[in-house]
A and B are shown apart, each in its own frame.
Chain A
């Protein structure tokens, strides 16, 4: 008897979020059969979710090894703005993909710098990335003189956020690529195992011969590059390079998605598949609620409640083990 109940709780902790996602999809489809379940709208949900997933996947890598990266908001703004600005400044014949790669590299380097400060100066990642975020925000505001880059952005770049290939929106393709790569990294490579081990018990990992300091550079570098890439896709989608506020909307949502993910399938652990579920959940909720004409403030409240419920689900497993 006791065993049956345990299994039920356990099952809910693992699959509760997925079940909830399915219920939401069913519910919205039932409420607005003409709007919600259409191909157009579902692609729209995916499209909206893709930027968040690109950013949240990178964040997942950091959280796996136990580091908080709060600079992702500023990093996303940096990615979007700097790319647009550089492209427009190049005039008629810009090197689009070279510029994109260059900015990704730049943001990666800033992330690695985060890692170096955290590892070798022993600063807490929470504070260090908060500070770095502030520095980047300030630098971009100064560099841009608070002016948004609007006209003259090359079509080739805008296609990254607006066009589709073989019927699939380009942002969704980028998201798929990033998520697949990071999933392979975390689940199937030695580096991924080591990241998990460091997050689990860093001293044990160190004594097992893992270079724990270097992994902070890798993780924060990946997180920064992903955030910048997400910012670029957002800018391409919007058709403008805004020097402020782009990333802020994604910061909270990215953390929410990753933590919801940690209560999915493998309770208590951060992982890409869970993050995907978290991102979809957030995407479906905001899409569904706006289709139903619910006001924005409800979306914040619902998302907060959801996050607490997810944490509760993960906590139940640990409690039940007693």
Chain B
């Protein structure tokens, strides 16, 4: 086993007593950790615990306010990301690091010495050859000439990862790399990680998906509120209860692991009926969503599950089919009409489609509810007091961690931004929630809180359409799951049959579990 054989290996990275202050809060307080050759070291903790901040310090994006960092036993002072790269550290940040309007091969070549001809001109055929070589070594079938902006999110993520892994960096840091990945790609990634660890590279790995941690990590450090609260150096000591308890605190750990308990209700009146919905990616989807129901739409990316949400919300016009909301046939020309009809959408890409980074949490959360906070219909002034009250209420309900509702959205940690995006819709009184990976980047404790919130919304009479790249979420949350394959609904799973295996089976077309739709 890798962990055992490398027990005494030399440390690649040592972090000693690092401190980092942001205005109004200390993000890291006396944090130490060690990554040895052959280690896959998991860095764990709640949203806002300080994981990304620590990574940014190690890679020279931020500067520490105290403590020291040793790479290969030598103290280093990185002032810019390039320094870290030269010192043999490769990183995939939480928000990716590709240039969208460049091609895959150009991105792969970025930051490296380009092959030259006559000393000055870039040798493009050579760049292309290297990229193709790298992609095939990684087991990816992505054309090197494709623009990054044209890739699916999971493909883009794999390209970032490929770029990091392909360098001969001794230390490879991955900050929530799997948020967008398919199960197959996760396996691919883990295969490469194990191989590289075997060859003596070290990994620092952040993920909120604990099953992955137990799958691949050999050691771990847990942060809470910027402090190191727990660490283990041996794989045998990585036990689920211990890890969860360390992350969320002992008293909350039971709640985090408990299944979502509620009466499954599929007897309510239908709020959303979809008949023969079709577009370029969806072929004749028909289903009914009832009041009080949490209906899962599962399927691989591109299978039509996510596209169905976009069609329902008026982001794209369907080519054919009928949508009935509350029994009335509707055709939404824009999201605005969908919102007016009581629909809410949490899109997949938080940064590009949901968050207003430079604005306060208050402005982010109240945005779709402003219409209910006006003094009068004529001047349409916003009532500040009522706004603050509404925002404070939903922010508290979702436990968004920030220095206050006036904190800038982009100063929040990834998971807390995600919670704020979800919180946005709670004030609107929406009846139908369309949620695309609503718990991406959210920690274990908060995930359970969001599940409970959704269950509560359903009990209060709302209905939820849910999709996620994380298959294990469906059994925990949904009353019923429709599995999409190549644009059509391949099957439906009811309460006792919702298991990861059956969903995946239907999604890839292996088993004929469930009844055909």
* Chain A interface residues toward B at CB < 8 A: 2-3, 6-7, 10, 184, 188-191, 193-194, 196-197, 200-201, 203-211, 268-269, 321-322
Contacts and interface: CB of A to CB of B under 8 A. Distances in A.
B334 A196 contact: no
Contacts of A209: 335-336, 338-340, 368
B62 interface: yes
A204 B354 contact: yes
Nearest to A207: B335
Contacts of B338: 209
Contact of B352 (A6, A7, A203, A210): A203
Nearest to B20: A2
A190 B65 contact: no
Nearest to B374: A190
The SS class assigned to the A binding surface is: helix
A2 B65 contact: yes
Contacts of B238: none
A207 B355 CA distance: 11
B496 interface: no
Interface in B320-376: 334-336, 338-340, 345, 347, 352-359, 363, 366-368, 370-371, 374
14 contacts: A191-B380, A193-B363, A194-B367, A196-B359, A197-B363, A203-B353, A204-B355, A205-B367, A207-B313, A207-B345, A208-B335, A209-B335, A209-B368, A269-B358
B382 A208 contact: no
B62 A322 contact: yes
Q: How large is the interface on B (under 10, 10 to 19, 20 to 34, 35 or more residues)?
A: 35 or more
A188 B353 CA distance: 25
Interface in B128-171: none
Nearest to B56: A322
Chain B binding surface SS class:
mixed
B124 interface: no
A193 to B, nearest CB: 6
A209 B430 CA distance: 12
A208 B344 CA distance: 8
Nearest to A2: B65
A321 B139 CA distance: 39
A201 B380 contact: no
B335 A189 contact: no
A194 to B, nearest CB: 8
A6 B65 contact: no
B363 A3 contact: no
B379 interface: yes
Nearest to A320: B23
A208 B353 CA distance: 10
A206 B355 contact: no
B367 A193 contact: yes
Contacts of A201: 352-357
A197 B367 contact: yes
A206 B356 contact: no
Contacts of B313: 207
